[in-house]
């Protein structure tokens, strides 16, 4: 781990530490990271992109925290409710203020985190930080508004329901997991969404448990100075009271045998086949996350033998996507393919399984691994082309380890990987007993 | 007399950056498809951006691009085809070598053609008809409004047309349309100055100066009465898109005012709009409701509009996100009621002022990356206006409330519309819409009196639709 510079002792309420950029670090910006006494963390990243500031507030709660049965989808509903106003800024006034300052504003909920983002012109930093502080501390909505908002969530479910990938994901998660809360999706089960109007009291409990400084990180990226940001955050967020709740997320027992699930889609569509394996929790201090990420590129990216054969040459699939596990708790390594004809589903499935076997037995060429390393570095550089994008990238890492340093640490793991590390990770995690296969098909395939 | 030497149009935004952005745009699109070959422009572009070159197979290109993390994006619209990509400046030569060959020395291979064709057909069958009711409704709206004009077919074409188009068709289209006069070379970022001349001379040497067929520019006719298209498919909820043509583009005097009105009514995926407020926020009808004066494809996946879909003809459009079937008629009535209210009452000083402030500052967010700024610069060139950020701010500054209210009176209407719905039981919905039966709303919580009072009017608002105004089309026939 990188040694910290000596923190400057200040007469203010908290100590700050600043990390200077090193030339070889994947994250090239200097940033300031500091904790208020109430546990709130502030990370400020000044950039050269003039006039724009991106504020992303990362709350370390998501559908993973929905431990009570019948109450899935609440982290997401809660994200909606955060726009319903406070005594000082009722919803209309909040919306009109954001409107006047020309801000782009939205939020997203995931399994491990909920992120609130606002991108705006730098002269409105004070207003944005004040309004955000207000709704994080003083949110207040009455039951009628709560019930109305739950209908908007149902509307969101409805618009998602046209896409079979949503249904496939729901079935896969439900089958792969037994006890851990990754068993349900962030949207939640439809029957729980339909019951939401009756759960006003539970929604208030959710706010009380998780919308607390110890779960929250404020990330400010753009045309800002760290000192000025710090002063504003201290002013508006300093009095926020720490909470005391710690969720009891059930551990997932080891999977003993392969699993399958079939989803019948009522209208014409192309078949989907998804193969998932139980993988490790995110780590930047051991090789596994990095090894599985690299494996994902080597085995399944557009440059892989499998993709070139199935999609380009044989043209039996038109999409192959994969993702390595990168969640707080052990989650899934996933490969999904869209197959052009129903009669080829088994073949595509078997080709994916054969690829997995090959990577578990044979180490890749060192040259190919080097190419993946290069790609990962250039990919990061290309994505960071404005303050908003930088904030979005960092927010994902902050959700995991509450610091941009984890991005650097992960890339250091990539740098150290050997071909045998990849093979070992595949052999350890991509096993039949840890596997779930989900398939989806329409009536007789697409017309 | 020898013709004047044409200069290749280059739109340049150099900056101190380790990245270089390319936007190579041809001002030709599906409006140039021959009448019997819809989808030709689209397939041609895909063969360039998603196929091999004379020297390299597609696989070899992917292999070469992989370690650089680069790719070539392809976007085809009615009047523009854009090839986009970004690279780290360390890889500039290697990336440009591939990009140049893809655009100027395409491989025209049969196996690439087969793959690219299948992708296009599946984009219609599955991407649109199968899995995206909202985008389907929008594209049927455009097809209906523009029928009989060069915009009147889906850019992707149709399934039957795509099946018939040959590689020779594609090569002929490339030869006649990919010309110097159609070319806008866009470059942004940290490229060395001499790089521009190199790119210009490559394209000048390879492309013919002038091209072939130019489509006639024709504005669509306005229907005599409101017409409704219901696309019947097995789906959970009802998705709506409605609108009508407006002869207003960025170059028009009324653009800024009309943009302001559409932002007030329903700024894309923000909670500030009137429609969002009255339909979602107050009544919980759906996930959102928005209004547009420019084409905005795939809005469900994007928070900000794409660049390089510039057109000479636009529509005013309202997007009503999927509603529960029992509320569909009420939701449609409510949207029309809000449009009518606006047409009658106009905007207030406060709402005008606030919306203007929003747009004047939000434009900074829209142009926050060099990549986006370059896209806007190319579009500004198309419309022959100043750089967008400056242009919009200047136009907004000149607006007055009276001027905006005049624009509302001139352009906002609720008759002679085109309405598209994607729903299950199309005949049932048709009967509902053709009848003036009230459609009362019930809620899961008490509503303020102003809502319940307003509902009494909304639920009986005449739709003035006769059965012959409404056509039901099975989804398998749409874009077939």
- What CATH number is given to the structural domain containing A214? 3.30.830.10
Same fold for the pair B9-206 and B227-477: yes
Domain end, chosen from A185, A203, A237, is at: A237
d(CA A111, CA A281): 13
Q: Is B302 on the interface with A (CB under 8 A)?
A: no
Q: In the predicted model, what is the mean pLDDT of residues A112-129?
A: 97
Note whether residue A63 is domain-resident.
yes
Would you say residue A22 has pLDDT above 90? no
B364/A104 CB distance under 8 A: no
Scanning B450-469 for CB atoms below 8 A from A yields none
Give the closest residue to A377 by CA, choosing from A20, A1, A24. Answer: A24
Q: Is A392 on the interface with B (CB under 8 A)?
A: no
Q: Is B370 on the interface with A (CB under 8 A)?
A: yes
Domain count, chain A: 2
Query: Confidence band (pLDDT; 50, 70, 90) for A159?
Result: confident
Query: Confidence band (pLDDT; 50, 70, 90) for B211?
Result: confident
Mean pLDDT of chain A: 92
Q: Is B160 on the interface with A (CB under 8 A)?
A: no
Residues A219 and A304 in one domain: no
Residues A389 and A266 in one domain: yes
Q: What is the pLDDT of residue B170?
A: 98
Query: Confidence band (pLDDT; 50, 70, 90) for A163?
Result: confident
Would you say residue A11 has pLDDT above 50? no
Q: Is B393 on the interface with A (CB under 8 A)?
A: no
Q: What is the pLDDT of residue B386?
A: 97
Interface pTM (ipTM) of the complex?
Answer: 0.93
Would you say residue B390 has pLDDT above 70? yes
Q: In the predicted model, what is the mean pLDDT of residues A69-77?
A: 94
d(CA A321, CA A312): 14
Class for the domain spanning B227-477: alpha beta
Q: Is A163 on the interface with B (CB under 8 A)?
A: yes
Q: What is the pLDDT of residue A17?
A: 43
Note whether residue A305 is domain-resident.
yes
Q: Which residue of A has its CA nearest to B119?
A: A318
Return the minimum-mean-pLDDT range out of A88-92, A283-287, B25-29, B218-222: B218-222
Per CB-CB distance under 8 Å, the chain B contacts of A104 are 270, 303-304, 362, 365
Scanning B43-72 for CB atoms below 8 A from A yields 58-59, 62-63, 66-70
d(CA A99, CA B344): 24
Note whether residue A2 is domain-resident.
no
Residues B34-93 pLDDT 10s? 999 999 999 999 999 999 999 999 999 999 999 999 999 999 999 999 999 999 999 999
Note whether residue A9 is domain-resident.
no
Scanning A216-245 for CB atoms below 8 A from B yields none
A78: domain range?
16-21+28-237
Query: Confidence band (pLDDT; 50, 70, 90) for A16?
Result: very low
Residues A259-269 pLDDT 10s? 999 999 998 89
Query: Confidence band (pLDDT; 50, 70, 90) for B6?
Result: low
Q: What is the pLDDT of residue B306?
A: 97
DSSP A85: B
Scanning A20-79 for CB atoms below 8 A from B yields 49, 51-52
Would you say residue A5 has pLDDT above 70? no
- A30/chain B closest Cα distance in angstroms: 17
Instruction: Choose the closest CB to B18 out of A270, A313, A381.
Output: A381
Q: How many CB pairs under 8 A join A and B?
A: 224
Instruction: Choose the closest CB to A104 out of B125, B362, B369.
Output: B362
Radius of gyration of chain B (CA): 24
Q: Is B131 on the interface with A (CB under 8 A)?
A: yes
Mean pLDDT of chain B: 96
Note whether residue A288 is domain-resident.
yes
Note whether residue A350 is domain-resident.
yes
Would you say residue B426 has pLDDT above 90? yes
Query: Confidence band (pLDDT; 50, 70, 90) for B132?
Result: very high
Per CB-CB distance under 8 Å, the chain A contacts of B68 are 374-375, 378
Residues A185-212 pLDDT 10s? 999 999 999 999 999 999 999 899 999 9
Contact A60, A245 (CB under 8 A): no
Q: Is A348 on the interface with B (CB under 8 A)?
A: no
B9-206 CATH choice from 3.30.830.10, 3.40.50.300, 3.90.105.10, 3.10.105.10: 3.30.830.10
Residues A348 and A217 in one domain: no
Q: What is the pLDDT of residue A4?
A: 31
Q: What is the pLDDT of residue B218?
A: 72
Residues A295 and A386 in one domain: yes
Residues A183 and A115 in one domain: yes
Residues B265-322 pLDDT 10s? 999 999 999 999 999 999 999 999 999 999 999 999 999 999 999 999 999 999 999 9
Residues A310 and A232 in one domain: no
Domain segments of chain B as ranges: 9-206, 227-477
Query: Confidence band (pLDDT; 50, 70, 90) for B4?
Result: low
Contact B468, B224 (CB under 8 A): no
Per CB-CB distance under 8 Å, the chain B contacts of A371 are 66-67
d(CA B453, CA B451): 5
Residues A299-322 pLDDT 10s? 999 999 999 999 999 999 999 999
Residues A160 and A304 in one domain: no
Long-range CB contacts for residues B214-221, cutoff 8 Å, separation at least 24: B214/B32, B215/B31, B215/B32, B215/B150, B216/B150, B217/B150, B217/B312, B217/B313, B218/B149, B218/B150, B219/B149, B219/B245, B219/B247, B219/B313, B220/B145, B220/B146, B220/B147, B220/B148, B220/B149, B220/B151, B220/B152, B220/B245, B220/B313, B221/B148
H-only helix segments in B146-227? 159-164, 167-177, 193-206
Q: What is residue A196's three-state secondary structure?
A: helix
Residues A319 and A420 in one domain: yes
d(CA B91, CA B449): 64
Q: What is the pLDDT of residue A133?
A: 97
Would you say residue A23 has pLDDT above 80? no
Q: What is the pLDDT of residue B215?
A: 72
Query: Confidence band (pLDDT; 50, 70, 90) for A24?
Result: confident
d(CA B293, CA A189): 37
């Amino acid at each position: 781990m990188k040694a910290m510079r000596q923190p400057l002792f200040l007469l203010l309420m908290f100590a700050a530490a600043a990390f200077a950029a090193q030339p070889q670090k994947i994250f090239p910006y200097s940033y300031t990271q500091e904790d208020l006494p109430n546990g709130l963390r502030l990370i400020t990243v000044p950039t050269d992109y003039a006039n724009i500031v991106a504020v992303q507030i990362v709350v370390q709660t998501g559908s993973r925290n929905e431990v009570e049965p019948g109450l899935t989808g609440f982290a997401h509903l809660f994200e909606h409710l955060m726009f319903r106003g406070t005594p000082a800024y009722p919803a209309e006034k909040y919306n009109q203020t954001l409107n006047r300052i020309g801000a782009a504003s939205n939020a997203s909920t995931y399994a491990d985190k909920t992120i609130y983002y606002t991108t705006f012109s730098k002269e409105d930093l004070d207003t944005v930080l004040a309004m955000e502080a207000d709704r994080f501390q003083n949110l207040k909505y009455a039951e009628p508004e709560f019930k109305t908002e739950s209908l908007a969530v149902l509307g969101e479910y409805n618009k998602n329901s046209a896409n079979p990938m949503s249904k496939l994901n729901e079935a896969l998660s439900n089958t792969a997991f037994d006890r851990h809360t990754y068993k349900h999706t962030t949207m939640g089960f439809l029957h729980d969404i339909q019951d939401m109007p009756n759960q006003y009291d539970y929604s208030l409990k959710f706010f009380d448990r998780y919308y607390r400084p110890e779960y929250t990180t404020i990330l400010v990226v753009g045309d800002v100075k760290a000192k000025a940001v710090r002063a504003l955050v201290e002013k508006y967020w300093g009095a926020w009271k720490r909470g005391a709740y710690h969720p009891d997320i059930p551990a997932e027992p080891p999977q003993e045998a392969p699993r399958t699930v079939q989803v019948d889609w009522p209208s014409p569509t192309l078949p989907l086949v998804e193969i998932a394996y139980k993988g490790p929790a995110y780590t930047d201090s051991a090789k596994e996350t990095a090894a599985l990420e690299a494996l994902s590129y080597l085995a399944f990216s557009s440059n892989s033998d499998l993709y070139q054969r199935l999609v380009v040459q044989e043209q039996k699939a038109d999409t192959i996507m994969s993702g390595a596990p990168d969640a707080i708790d052990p989650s899934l390594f996933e490969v999904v393919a869209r197959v052009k004809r129903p009669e080829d589903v088994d073949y595509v499935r078997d080709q994916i399984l054969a690829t997995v076997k090959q990577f578990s037995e044979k180490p890749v060429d060192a040259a190919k691994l080097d190419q993946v390393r290069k790609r990962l570095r250039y990919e990061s550089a290309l994505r960071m082309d404005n303050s908003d994008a930088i904030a979005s990238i960092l927010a994902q890492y902050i959700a995991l380890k509450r610091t941009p340093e984890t991005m650097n640490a992960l890339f250091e793991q990539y740098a150290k990987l050997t071909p045998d590390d990849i093979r070992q990770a595949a052999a350890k995690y991509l096993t039949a007993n840890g596997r779930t296969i989900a398939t989806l098909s329409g009536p007789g395939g697409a017309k | 007399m020898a013709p004047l030497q044409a200069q290749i149009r280059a739109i340049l935004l150099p900056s101190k950056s380790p990245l270089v952005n390319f936007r190579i745009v041809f001002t030709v699109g599906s409006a140039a498809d021959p009448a019997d070959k819809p989808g030709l422009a689209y397939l041609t572009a895909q063969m360039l951006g998603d196929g091999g070159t004379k020297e390299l197979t597609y696989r070899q290109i992917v292999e070469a691009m992989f370690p650089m993390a680069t790719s070539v994006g392809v976007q085809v619209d009615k009047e523009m085809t854009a090839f986009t990509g970004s690279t780290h400046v360390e890889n500039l030569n290697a990336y440009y070598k591939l990009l140049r060959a893809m655009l100027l020395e395409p491989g025209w291979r049969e196996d690439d053609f087969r793959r690219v064709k299948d992708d296009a057909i599946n984009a219609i069958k599955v991407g649109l008809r199968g899995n995206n009711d909202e985008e389907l409704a929008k594209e049927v709206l455009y097809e209906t409004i523009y029928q009989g004009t060069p915009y009147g077919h889906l850019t992707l074409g149709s399934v039957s047309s795509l099946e018939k188009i040959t590689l020779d068709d594609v090569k002929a289209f490339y030869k006649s349309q990919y010309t110097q006069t159609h070319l806008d070379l866009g470059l942004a970022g940290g490229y060395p100055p001499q790089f521009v001349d190199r790119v210009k001379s490559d394209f000048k040497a390879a492309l013919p100066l002038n091209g072939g067929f130019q489509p006639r520019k024709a504005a669509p006719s306005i229907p005599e009465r409101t017409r409704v298209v219901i696309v019947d498919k097995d789906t959970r909820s009802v998705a709506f898109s409605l609108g009508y043509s407006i002869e207003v583009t960025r170059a028009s005097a009324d653009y800024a005012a009309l943009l302001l009105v559409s932002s007030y009514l329903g700024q894309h995926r923000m909670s500030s709009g009137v429609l969002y407020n009255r339909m979602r926020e107050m009544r919980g009808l759906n996930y959102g409701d928005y209004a547009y004066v420019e084409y905005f494809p795939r809005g469900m996946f994007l928070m900000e509009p794409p660049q390089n879909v510039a057109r000479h003809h636009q529509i005013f459009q309202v997007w009503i996100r999927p509603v529960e079937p029992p509320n569909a008629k009420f939701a449609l009535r409510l949207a029309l009621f809000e449009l009518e209210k606006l047409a009658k009452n106009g905007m207030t000083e406060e709402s005008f002022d606030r919306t203007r402030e929003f747009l004047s500052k939000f434009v900074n967010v829209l142009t926050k990356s060099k990549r986006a700024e370059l896209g806007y610069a190319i579009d500004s060139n198309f419309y022959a206006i100043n750089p967008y950020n400056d242009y919009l701010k200047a136009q907004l500054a000149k607006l007055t409330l009276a001027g905006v209210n005049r624009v509302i009176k001139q352009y906002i209407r609720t008759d002679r519309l085109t309405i598209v719905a994607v729903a299950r039981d199309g005949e049932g919905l048709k009967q509902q819409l053709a009848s003036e039966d009230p459609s009362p709303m019930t809620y899961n919580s008490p509503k303020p009196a102003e809502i319940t009072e307003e509902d009494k009017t909304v639920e009986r608002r005449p739709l003035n639709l006769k059965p012959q105004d409404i056509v039901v089309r099975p989804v398998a026939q749409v874009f077939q």
